[in-house]
Structure 1
Amino acid sequence: MNKPQALNQTRQEITSLDNDLLELLAKRRSLSLEVAKSKEVDVRPIRDTQREKELLERLVKQGREKGLDAHYVLSLYQGIIEDSVLNQQAYLHGRANPETQKQQYCIAYLGARGSYSYLAANRYCQRRQVEMLDLGCQSFDEIVHSVESGHADYGFLPIENTSSGSINEVYDVLQHTSLSIVGETTIEVGHCLLAKQGSRSNDIKTVYAHPQPISQCSRFLGLHPEFKLEYCSSSAEAMEKVLQADCHSVAAIGSAEGGALYQLEAIEKGLANQNINQSRFIVVARKSVAVPSQLPAKCTLIMATGQKPGALVEALLVLKAHDLNMSKLESRPIPGTPWEEMFYLDIDANLASDNMQAALVEIERITRFIKVLGCYPCETVKPTQLSNSQLMIEPDTSKADVTEPLQNDLEAPAQRRSAKEYKQQATEIVDRQLSIGSGNFNALAQLTLGNDVEVMGQQAKLIKEAGYQAVIIQGLNQVAEMPQKLRALCHALHQFDLVAIAKIEQQPDIGKIAPVVDMLQVCGKQMFNQDLLSLVGSLHIPVILERNTMASIDELLKSADIVLEQGNQQVLLCESGIRTFDQSAKPALDLAGIIELKRISHLPVVANLSYAVELVSFECQTQALKSLGADAIVLPVDGTATHNESGLIQGQHGKLLRQLHQN
C-alpha cells in the first residue's frame, strides 16, 4: 500500500485550490455583470429559466462523470445562480436610479450590531458593494423617524417571518409615514442558543430573547420548561446581557454570526419551529425609486374599502381581471374607526406596467382610500429545479397503462373525501425535494431510531447519495430521551435535504414528535384509532396512513376520510402487506389493492417493502409497483451500521434505484 503524502502538504494543496476557486467565482460574478449590461441595452428579462435548466442539467451530468453527487452540484450552482441574479438586479436598479448611488449609506435598523436587522442591512449593502454606516434604534418608530428626518438614508423594517407570520407593529407604523418602500431582502434566520464559552445546555436557567424569536422557537422552549424567559428589545440586547453576566447559567437566542460579535458560542442550533425559517425585511426611504421593466417587481399598497358587503372581494376581482397576482394580504385596524380595517397588499407587478395602472384606476373608484407605499425589485429568487430523471437518480415519470378493473370491483362513494369523484386532480405532497403524487416515482428509506444518533446521522449522506428523498423513523417509543435524539437525527437529515418522517405507534407521542419532524406516519395498528386519526387531522403536516394487515381497502379509505374531515388534506395511503391464511407467514404485499387505490382515490399511494418482501425480491417488486402506478416505495436501511458497514445503502439499494431510473 502506498504511503499517503504528509497531511500538511495535502492541506496546503487544498488551501491553494480554495484560493483558485474564489478567484474563479469572482471572475464569474464579474462576467454576470457583463450579462446585465447586455440586458440593459436589449431590455431582456433578468432570468432565463430555460437556459438555467439546461445549464444545471449539463453541470450535473459533467459532475457525475467526475464522481460528484448530483444534489451537491445542483445545490452549489443554485446558490451561484441566485447570487448572479441578485447582483444583476442590483446593478440594473442602480443604473435606473443614479441619484441614489453613493459610496456609503447610513442605515437605521432595530437593535445594535449583531441583531437580525443589522445582518439584513449589512447583507443588503454588501450586495451593492457600498459602505454601511449603521444607526441602531430602539423601536420601529425611531427607525422611521430617523429616515424621515434625514439622519439615515434607509430604514430596515422586518415585515414577516415564515414561522411567526406578519409583524403587526410594522404594518401599523406604515399607516402613518410618508416614506416609500424601495427594496426588500430576505435572510435565513438560524436561531441558536448562545452562551459564554464553556457553558452547557444543562447549566442554562435564564434565556434572554426578543419576543419574535421566542415565538419562532416555542416548540424548543416547550421542551425546556425549566428556562426562565426574559424579554429584550432586540437580539443584540439579549446577547449583550449574556456577555455582561458573571455566570454560565444564562443564554440568548440569536444567530451564530451575531453571537460571534459578542464572543458567544452556539450550544444548541436549529431552534426554530420550522426547518426553513426566514425573515423578510422591507427597505424604506424618503423618495420612491424607478424599477426597470426587465426586473421582477413588487408593489405594496394599502386601501380601505368601507363597511359594505363584498367590498374587499370586489377590489380583489379587479386584480384578477387584470391578471395580477397578489402575494400578500394583511389587515390591520384603523385607529379611531372601530371595526374598520386597512388592507395591505403585495402585488407581483411593476407600478409602471399598463395592467397595474389600469387596476389602480378601477380600485380607486370602489375604495374609500388607496395609497401605493412603493414599487421595488423583488429579491426572492426561486431556485431552478431539475426533475428526478434529470438528476439521474430516479426513474422517468412514464407509467404503464393499468388494465381497467371489472365492473364488480369496489366502487368509491361520491361523497367520500378520498374519492376521485370528490377531487378529480391527484393530491400532491411537496416537502423539500420530495414530491409525491406529481408523477415522480420516489424512494423512502426506513430505519429504526437507535441510541447512537451520531452513527445514524453519518448515514444521511449515504442515504441521499443512494437516491432517497426521505427517511421514515420508527421505534421511537423504545429509546430513552427520544425527543432530543429524534431532533438531533432530523437535524442531520435536513443537512442533506432529506424529509424526516416519524412513525407514530402510540397517541401520547404525537405532541412530542410532530413539532420536530416534517411528516407523520400512522402505523397500521393505529389505523382504527379514531381519536388519533382526528388528532393528526387537526395538524398542518402531511400524514402517511398505513393500512392495517387485517383491513380492507374500504376500511383504509374510511380512516383516511376521518383525517381529511378534520381539515388536513395532506394524506398519503401506505400498503405494507396483508395477512394471508397462513398466519405464521410474512404479510403479502397487496398489489391488486394498490391498483384499486389508484383507480378510486386521488390520494398518493406508498408501498412499503420492509415487512412483506424478501431482499432478493426487491428489484422485481419495485419494478412491478412502478408499473402499477404506485407513487413511492419504502425500503429498509440499517441505521445502526457504521460508515464502513453501510454498503447496502451504496451498493444494492443504490443499484436498485439506478435501475429504476434507467427503465
Structure 2
Amino acid sequence: MSKPQPLNHTREQITSLDNELLALLAKRRELSLDVARSKEVDVRPIRDTIREKELLSRLVKQGREQGLDAHYVISLYQSIIEDSVLNQQAYLHGRANPETQQQQYCIAYLGARGSYSYLAASRYCNRRQVEMQDLGCQSFDEIVQAVESGHADYGFLPIENTSSGSINEVYDVLQHTSLAIVGETTIEVGHCLLANSGSNIADIKTVYAHPQPISQCSRYLSQRSEFKLEYCSSSAEAMEKVCNANDSSVAAIGSAEGGALYQLEAIETDLANQKVNQSRFIVVARKAVEVPSQLPAKCTLIMATGQKPGALVEALLVLKARNLNMSKLESRPIPGTPWEEMFYLDIDANLSSEPMQAALKELERTTRFIKVLGCYPCETVKPTQLSNSQLMIEPNTSKSTAVAATTSNKQQRFSKQYKSEATQVVCGQLDLGNGNIGALAQMQLPIDLLQFEQMAKELKEAGFQAVAIQGLSQQSDVINSIDKFKHALAQFNLVCVLVIEHETDLTMATQFADVVMLSGNLMYNQAILIQLGSLLVPVIVERNTMASVDDLLNAAEIILGQGNQQLILCESGVTTLNNSGKPSLDLAALVELKALSHLPILVNPSYAIESEQMPTFVRAIRQLKGDGVMVNLSAIEHASKADTAELINKILSSLYQSH
C-alpha cells in the first residue's frame, strides 16, 4: 500500500479547486444575466422547465459516470437554477421599473443589525447589487411611517413563518396604509442559543428573545424550565442585551450570522420546533411597480364580503372560474365592526393579466370592499424534479411493468368514464362518498394509553367517526400499544386508521388497521401501492406535496388495478416555499379530482391553514363537494384544552351544517 500524500498538500489542492469552483459559479451567474437580456428582447418566460429537466437529466447521467450520486447532483443544481432564476427576475424587474434603479436603498426594518429582518433586507439588496443604508425600527408601525414619510425607500415586514404561522400585527398594519407591496423574499431561520464567549449551557439563567422565536422554539424552551424568558422588541435587541451584559448567565435566541455581529457564540443550535423554518417578508414602497409578463407574479388584495351566507365561497369560485390559484387566505377582524372580517388573499397572477382583471371586476360587484395591495414578482422557485426513470432508479419488477401496461391499454379505473356512479366506502361508522361525508381525527404518537382513551371518548362525542394514528415508529412496545389503542377506539365505535410513513410500518398496519392510510411521502413507491391494492380493507392515499393531480390518480390506478376498489384520495396541500415548509391548500385540485374521478376525496387542511381559519375552509370544502375532512390534532393545539374543543366544534359544525 502506497503512502498517502501529506494532509497539508491535499488541503491545498482542495482549496485550489474550491477557488476554481467559485470562479466558475460567478461566470455562470454572469451568463445567466445574458440569458435574461435575451428574454427581455424576445419576451420569453423566465423559466423553461423542459430545458431544466433536460439539463438535470444529462447532468445526472454524467455524474453517475464519474461516481456522483444522482440526488447530490440534483440538489446542487437545483440551488444553482434557483439562484439563476431569481437573478434574472431581479434584472428584468429592474429594467421594467427604471425609476427604482439606484446605487443605494434606504431600508426600514424591525430591530437593529443582526435581526432576521436585517438579514432578509441585506440579501434582497445584495441580489440587486445595491448598497443598503439601514434604518432600524422598533415596531411595524414605525417601519410603515418611515416609508410613508420618505425617510426610507422600502420597508421590510415579516408576514409569515412556516413554524409559527402568519404575523397578524403586520396584516393589521396593512389595512391602514397607502403603501404598495412591491416584492417579497424568504429566508431560512436557524434559531440558536447565543451567549458571550466562554459561557456554558449549565450557567444560563435568563434568555432574551422576540415573541416569535419564543413561539417557534416552544418545545426546546419547555424542556428548559430553569430559563427565565425576557421578551424583546427584536432578536437584535436580545443579542445586544446579552453582548452589553458581559454575563455568562444570559443568552439570546437568534441566528448565528446575526450573533457574530455582536461577538456572541452559539452554544445550542437547531432550537426550532420544525426542522425546516423559514420566514417570508414583504417589501413595501410608496409607489406600486410593474411586473413584466414573463415573470411569475403574485397579487395581494384585501376584501370584505359582508355577512351573507356563502359569500366567501362565492368569491373563491370567481377565482376558480378563471383558473387563478389562491396561495394564501388570511382573515382579520375589522375594527369597529363586530363579527365582520377583512380577508387577505395572495393570488398567483399578474395584475395586468386578463383573468385577473376580469376576476377583480366581478369581485368589485359582489364584495363590500376590495383593494389591491400590490403586484410583485414571486420569489418562490419550485425546484425542477425528475421522474424515477430519469433518475434511472425506477423499480423494474415484472409486476409493476404489467400494471403500467394494463393502465395504458385499458380505460383508467379511477375515471368517471370507467364508473359513472360515485364510489362509496363504508367501514364501521365511517361512510364516505356518494353524498355521504365524514370526519377523521389524526393523532401523533407517542402517547400513553390513558390519555389516548380519554381523547378517543372526546373525539367520539365531538362527532368524529375515525382516528388516524401516525408516528408508529415513535411508540415504544408498538405492537402491544397499537392492539390496546384499537381496542380503545372500538369501545367508542371509532374506526382505526393506521398511517404508513415508512416501509416498515406496512406489516403492522395490515395486521391491525380497519383502514390503511399511505402518507404522501410514500405515494411514489410502486411496491407499496401494489401491496395496498391486494388488501381487503379500505385504503387512503395522501397526495405527495410535490405531486400533480395526474401523479395522484396514477397512484390510485395502480391500487385499483390490483383489485382493491375501496380507495379514498386525500389532499393535504402542495409545497410552495422552496420544496419545504408550510404548504398551500390546493382546493383547485379538489375540484379537478371530483370532475375526473368517482373516488371519494378527503381534505386535510391542518398543515396549510391557520387553526382559526379552518371552519371557513371546511365550509368551502363542502361547497366544492369534498367527501370529508381530516383534522390533525397536533396542528391545532391551542393555549388551553377548552380552546381546542371549541375549534373542533366549529370545524365539525361547518362540515355537517353545510351538508
User: TM-score, normalization: structure 1?
Assistant: 0.68
- Which residue of structure 1 lines up, in the alignment, with residue 513 of structure 2? 557
Partners of 1:540 and 1:264 in 2: how far apart? Answer: 46
SS at match of 1:528: helix
Q: Does 1:527 align with 2:482?
A: yes
Partners of 1:221 and 1:538 in 2: how far apart? Answer: 34
Measure how far apart 1:214 and its partner are. Answer: 0.5
**TM-aligned CA distance change 1:598 to 1:132, over 3 Å:** farther
SS at match of 1:58: helix
Q: CA-to-partner distance for each residue in 1:214-242, whole Å, 9 max, x for gaps?
A: 11111111121121111110000111111
Q: What pairs with 1:541-620 in structure 2 (closer than 5 Å)? A: 556-558=512-514, 560=515, 596-597=534-535, 600-603=538-541
Measure how far apart 1:314 and its partner are. Answer: 1.6
SS at match of 1:597: coil
Q: Does the 8 Å contact 1:505/1:526 carry over to 2?
A: no
Partners of 2:163 and 2:529 in 1: how far apart? Answer: 41
AA aligned opposite 1:274: Q
Measure how far apart 1:414 and its partner are. Answer: 3.1
**TM-aligned CA distance change 1:14 to 1:333, over 3 Å:** same
- Which residue of structure 2 lines up, in the alignment, with residue 415 of structure 1? 426
Q: Does the 8 Å contact 2:92/2:292 carry over to 1?
A: yes
AA aligned opposite 2:30: S
Using the aligned pairs only, state the percent identity: 72
SS at match of 2:513: helix
Measure how far apart 1:17 and its partner are. Answer: 1.3
- Which residue of structure 2 lines up, in the alignment, with residue 49 of structure 1? 49
Measure how far apart 1:267 and its partner are. Answer: 1.4
Q: Does the 8 Å contact 2:238/2:253 carry over to 1?
A: yes
Q: Does 1:399 align with 2:400?
A: yes
- Which residue of structure 2 lines up, in the alignment, with residue 613 of structure 1? none
SS at match of 1:25: helix
- Which residue of structure 2 lines up, in the alignment, with residue 371 of structure 1? 371
Q: Does the 8 Å contact 1:418/1:557 carry over to 2?
A: no
Q: Does 1:185 align with 2:123?
A: no
- Which residue of structure 2 lines up, in the alignment, with residue 578 of structure 1? none
Q: CA-to-partner distance for each residue in 1:259-304, whole Å, 9 max, x for gaps?
A: 1111111111111111111000000000000000000000000111
Q: Does the 8 Å contact 1:389/1:396 carry over to 2?
A: no
Measure how far apart 1:524 and its partner are. Answer: 2.4
Measure how far apart 1:312 and its partner are. Answer: 1.4
Partners of 2:2 and 2:285 in 1: how far apart? Answer: 65
Measure how far apart 1:8 and its partner are. Answer: 2.2
Measure how far apart 1:62 and its partner are. Answer: 1.0
Q: What is the Cα-based RMSD across aligned positions, in Å? A: 3.8
Partners of 2:385 and 2:293 in 1: how far apart? Answer: 25
Q: Does the 8 Å contact 1:181/1:373 carry over to 2?
A: yes
AA aligned opposite 1:273: N
Q: CA-to-partner distance for each residue in 1:103-130, whole Å, 9 max, x for gaps?
A: 0100000000000000000000000000
Measure how far apart 1:158 and its partner are. Answer: 0.2
Partners of 1:401 and 1:309 in 2: how far apart? Answer: 51
Partners of 2:328 and 2:28 in 1: how far apart? Answer: 35
**TM-aligned CA distance change 1:531 to 1:268, over 3 Å:** farther
**TM-aligned CA distance change 1:421 to 1:341, over 3 Å:** closer
**TM-aligned CA distance change 1:572 to 1:82, over 3 Å:** closer
**TM-aligned CA distance change 1:420 to 1:603, over 3 Å:** farther
Q: Does the 8 Å contact 1:524/1:548 carry over to 2?
A: no
Measure how far apart 1:206 and its partner are. Answer: 1.4
Q: CA-to-partner distance for each residue in 1:456-475, whole Å, 9 max, x for gaps?
A: xxxxxxxxxxxxxxxxxxxx
Partners of 2:199 and 2:242 in 1: how far apart? Answer: 11
**TM-aligned CA distance change 1:537 to 1:177, over 3 Å:** farther
SS at match of 1:26: helix
Q: Does 1:30 align with 2:30?
A: yes
User: TM-score, normalization: structure 2?
Assistant: 0.68
AA aligned opposite 1:557: A
Q: What pairs with 1:15-26 in structure 2 (closer than 5 Å)? A: 15-26=15-26
Measure how far apart 1:598 and its partner are. Answer: 7.4
Partners of 2:451 and 2:520 in 1: how far apart? Answer: 20
Q: CA-to-partner distance for each residue in 1:555-600, whole Å, 9 max, x for gaps?
A: 6232x47xx8xxx987999xxxxxxxxxxxxxxxx99986632785
SS at match of 2:150: coil
Give 5+ residue unaligned stretches, structure 1.
404-411, 424-501, 511-517, 574-589, 605-624, 631-663
- Which residue of structure 2 lines up, in the alignment, with residue 8 of structure 1? 8
Partners of 1:261 and 1:324 in 2: how far apart? Answer: 44
Q: CA-to-partner distance for each residue in 1:111-153, whole Å, 9 max, x for gaps?
A: 0000000000000000000000000000000000000000000
- Which residue of structure 2 lines up, in the alignment, with residue 277 of structure 1? 277
**TM-aligned CA distance change 1:45 to 1:603, over 3 Å:** closer
Aligned length: 493
